[in-house]
């Protein structure tokens, strides 16, 4: 989570464990199918302790903790195994990748946000896991095979004035690489002539033969 106080793990035997790094506190969930991805809400320790999971069952699930215990809510299903999940800081936005592509969901408002197709001709997700990462609350990085997509979170005002503004993700850049993407994130390592830090993209790459 954002405070680096808890860590989540999942397993093909269907076990999901969230453990505190500062105490003996831990919680365990069991599912009937292999779980391939787990993501903690960024403010897990301070708020609802929501855990997002997905796996071979093809369900994207939010586990919500309330006064009467935990409750699993299936947000989406039926499009193949969920292989990667990412949660944006401070916004309640989740992105997950299945065989069809990447979907973005606003958990705070229970609204679908965007659907981003998998790159044309991309290596199947079962052979090379897609990678997702939110940079802050407004930029989504997608690494799929030898393609990187960068999406920007934008706001669409409600035309009727009912229901308020809604979000959507616009792809602002598509990068084709000569390697397979095995991880990615943004970072600042250099300054320009005015002393301002520049934002770069760091990619963990596997060279193709």
Residue 54 has pLDDT above 60, yes or no: yes
Residue 78 has pLDDT above 80, yes or no: yes
Spatial separation of the C-alpha atoms in residues 108 and 42, rounded to whole Å: 13
If we measure between CA atoms, which residue out of 38, 32, 27, 37 comes closest to residue 14? 32
Q: What pLDDT, on a 0 to 100 scale, did the predictor assign at position 159?
A: 56
For range 85-94, the mean pLDDT: 88
Average pLDDT over the chain, rounded to an integer: 90
Please, which pLDDT band fits residue 162 given cuts at 50, 70 and 90?
Answer: low
For range 118-123, the mean pLDDT: 87
Q: What pLDDT, on a 0 to 100 scale, did the predictor assign at position 67?
A: 58
- Tokens standing for residue 189: 């390592």
Residue 68 has pLDDT above 80, yes or no: no
Please, which pLDDT band fits residue 160 given cuts at 50, 70 and 90?
Answer: low
Spatial separation of the C-alpha atoms in residues 209 and 207, rounded to whole Å: 7
Please, which pLDDT band fits residue 57 given cuts at 50, 70 and 90?
Answer: very high
Residue 123 has pLDDT above 90, yes or no: no
Spatial separation of the C-alpha atoms in residues 34 and 14, rounded to whole Å: 5
């Amino acid at each position: 989570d954002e405070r680096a106080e808890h860590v989540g793990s999942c397993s093909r035997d269907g076990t999901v464990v969230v453990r505190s790094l500062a105490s003996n506190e831990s919680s365990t969930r069991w599912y009937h199918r292999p779980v391939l991805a787990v993501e903690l809400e960024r403010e897990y320790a301070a708020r609802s302790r929501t855990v997002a999971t997905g796996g071979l069952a093809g369900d994207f699930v939010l586990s919500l903790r309330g006064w009467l215990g935990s409750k699993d809510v299936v947000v989406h299903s039926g499009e193949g195994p969920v292989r990667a999940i990412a949660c944006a800081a401070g916004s309640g936005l989740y992105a997950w990748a299945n065989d069809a592509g990447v979907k973005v969901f606003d958990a705070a408002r229970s609204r679908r946000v965007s659907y981003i197709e998998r790159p044309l001709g991309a290596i199947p997700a079962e052979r090379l896991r897609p990678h997702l990462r939110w940079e802050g609350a407004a930029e989504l990085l997608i690494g799929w095979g030898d393609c990187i997509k960068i999406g920007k979170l934008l706001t669409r005002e409600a035309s009727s004035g009912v229901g308020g503004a809604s979000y959507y993700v616009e792809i602002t850049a598509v990068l084709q690489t000569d390697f397979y993407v095995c991880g990615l994130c943004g970072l600042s390592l250099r300054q320009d002539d005015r002393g301002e830090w520049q934002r770069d993209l760091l990619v963990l790459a596997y060279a193709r033969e």
